[in-house]
Every structure is written in structure tokens, then in C-alpha cells.
Amino acid sequence: MATRKPAPRKSSLTRELIAALPKSDLHVHLDGSLRLETLIELAKERKVRLPSSTPSGLRDLVFKRAYKNLPEYLRGFEFTVACLQDAESLERAAYELCWDCRNENVFYVEIRFAPQLHVNGGFGVRQVLAAVARGMNRAKREINRGAEIKDGTLPRFECGIIVCAMRFFLPVFSEHYRAYFEAMPSAPKEEIYSLASLELARVTVKAIEEDGVPVVGLDLAGQERGFPAEDHAPAYQLVHDHFLGKTVHAGEDYGPESIFQAITDCHADRIGHGTWLLSPNRIHDQGIKDKKGYVEKLANYVADRRITLEVCLTSNQQTIPEMRDDLSKHPFKRMRKARISVTLCTDNRLVSRTTVTDEVVKAVDTFKLKPRELKDVLIYGFKRSFYPGPYHEKRDYVRQVLNTMERVFAEHGHDVRMSVR
């Protein structure tokens, strides 16, 4: 007679507990995180044609649970970006995203976007940044008037902007990008990409210094293969000289050497995704003979320097075929075993149909995180943030978050009081 396998033990880390814990989101794209109802309303007002005029229809046709490939995943951005072409829509999107974060106890968020995609007419990069900042600041003021935040029971809500440069672009991407090709018709494309990111960095620094816009860092987004980060080294050197945070999408659709380049050429403090950091078989550089040794040294370097990986589980599942039906194939567990600093992020709340709570629940259920392990992962998001303030203030903020976190764990029967590794 066949013996029945025991049912897997259910984690004591319930969704209720995870929802109550203070969390962060260091990797969330504004144009991938609109509310569906807002997208429909903006599209109607701005004469943008959507495949459907109802939330359920858009979920069926555009914003799916699963995507066949990356182009299908990216299709939704055609509609969201088209609806975010003026100050009012950008301010509203940023305001609502901050409130969506607060409503699931995300107390720190860095909202990233490419302002170049929203430029048109006299509405330039600085105006785009100012509009998003207004929405964020309005939400921040309202949230921090809450009784539990005012009396110190909960940490205050903090937020910042990460500006995205693009590894590559085409004239059809936006009016802003079209101007580069028209002004430099015979220039090599990599020269155009480099100049565009450098000018973006210059304008961003001016927006910080002259307009007080809360930009905390620079990102580099877009296809890695064929578009190396080294082309954007001048832009990263400029923001490095101005003491801004640096993060780079790397190791998402290319190998470990892409991560190495992000660190060495772009001074990256954090890596967006970093999925293939521990994968020697993903190395493309023929000059690297000892692939296993290269990966071990790179992983040790990343761990030792506390270069944090912004892990986006749902997004990776949707765009990486081998993980689609089995999230346990994601290297998150190996990253943790290698003592690498990792934090859980949404990437795109609308396009990936997720929240930070959803991401944490997935990590807990798939990788069997224990309470103290979960505390470590969550606190890394606050410790490795590009906090918009002096370091002593950040330390006090992280301490308050940690105290809140330990109290919430205790209220759910878990004692997690110990030093964070």
C-alpha cells in the first residue's frame, strides 16, 4: 500500500504579518505602475486608444498574469507612456503610486522613470521631474500627517526619484530622442546614446541644485545585449562626482560580465535584477576562460562591498521562460547563501500585477524564509536605499524601521531581535 506524503508545512509567516511589516521598494517604474482605472481615465481624456475600456478587458489583453515573451510584456508601456505626456498626469501617477505603497505599509520608495519619454513641445526634462516631484511630495505630506506616524508608532513615509538613462533608443521613442538623430545624422549610434545620457545627467543635477527636485540616483535601463554600460560611463561619472546613488539594470538578459561592467564603468552601488550573477554558463565574453572562478570572485566582490541586488521575482518569472512555471529555479536562494545583499521589489506594479506584499509572500513560500531571514531581507531595502538626507538621519530612520519591524513580528509571535548580518 502506497504511503501518503505528508503535506508541506505551512509557513508561520502569514500574509497578514507580511502586509503589516514595514517594507521598501527600491525598483519600481512609474510608467509600469499606474492604477488601471487611472490609465483608462487618462486615455479617455487624452484621446489615447486602448485595446479595452474596462479593467478586466485590459487585464485579459495587455496586463496579464503571464506573458509569452519580453515584447509582449513591454507592450503595456506603449499605452501608459502615451497617457503620461503632461504635468497633470505625471503628478497624479506619482501621487497615487505613493499612496498605493503606503496602503500596504511600504514606507520607503524610489520611483524610477525616463523623463525623456515624457518630453513634448515646451514640456522638458526639468518640467517632467518637477511634476513627478509635486505628486510625490503631496502624497508624502498627507501620509506623514497620519496619527500613527506623528506619534512615532510607524516610521514616516520617505521617497525619492531615480532617473533612467536608456542603453539605446530610437527616434520613435519620443520627441526628445528624435532630436538627437536629427542633430547628429552621421554620428555612430553609441556616441548618440552616450551623449543623451550625459546630457540627462547634467539636466538632472541642475534640477536638484536649482529646483530642489528629490532625485536620489541614476539608473540605466534597456536591452543589455549589444548595448554595453560602458557607453554611459561619462554620465555615471558626472552623477558620481555629485554624490548621487548609482544603480544599473544588469544581469537580467545578459551574463555576469554585464554586472562587472556596471560596477567598474558606472560605479554601481546597486544592481537592478542581477539574475545571472551566479551563472557561469551565461558568460559570453570569450576572454574569460575560468568562468566558474570569475563568477566566484565577482560574487564575493558584490557581497563584500554590499552591492545590493534589486530582485523582482514576478517580473523575472514573466520574462524568463525557465522560471515561468517554477519560481524555485530563481537564484534568490543561492544569492542569500552567498551572503549577498538582496531586497525584494515590484519592478512594475501594473504590468506585473503585483505588490511588495505579493513579492515577499512569494519569496517566503518558495524559498522557506524564516522570520529572522525575512527581517534581514526587508531591512536591506532601507539600509541600502539612496536615502534623501544626511547619513545620521538615515541611521535614525533605519533604527525606527527596525524597532517597528521587531514589534510587528512580536505581535505575531516571532522574536527576531538580533543583529542584522
Domain boundaries, the chain: 15-32+85-411, 35-83
What is the rounded average pLDDT for all residues in the chain? 95
Distance CA 420, CA 103 (A): 26
pLDDT at 5: 53
The answer to whether 306 and 384 have CB atoms below 8 angstroms apart is yes
pLDDT at 132 over 90: yes
CATH assignment, 15-32+85-411:
3.20.20.140
Q: Dig out the grid coordinates for 396 from the structure.
A: 535614525
Q: Would you say how long the chain is, in residues?
A: 421
Note the helical H segments in 320-387.
332-337, 356-367, 371-383
Distance CA 212, CA 235 (A): 20
SS3 113: strand
Name the pLDDT band for 421 (thresholds 50, 70, 90).
Answer: very low
pLDDT at 1: 47
Name the pLDDT band for 190 (thresholds 50, 70, 90).
Answer: very high
Average pLDDT of the residues in 380-393: 97
Cβ neighbourhood burial of 2 (10 Å; 0-12, 13-18, 19+): exposed
pLDDT in tens, 7-43: 555 568 999 999 999 999 999 999 999 999 999 999 9
The one-letter amino acid code at 81 reads V
First to last CA, the chain: 48
Distance CA 38, CA 93 (A): 8
pLDDT at 4: 56
The answer to whether 42 and 82 have CB atoms below 8 angstroms apart is no
Chain CA centroid to CA 187, Å: 32
pLDDT in tens, 248-262: 999 998 999 999 999
Name the pLDDT band for 420 (thresholds 50, 70, 90).
Answer: very low
pLDDT above 70 covers a percentage of the chain that reads 96
Average pLDDT of the residues in 166-185: 93
Cβ neighbourhood burial of 320 (10 Å; 0-12, 13-18, 19+): middle
- pTM for the model stands at 0.95
pLDDT at 277: 98
Distance CA 389, CA 392 (A): 8
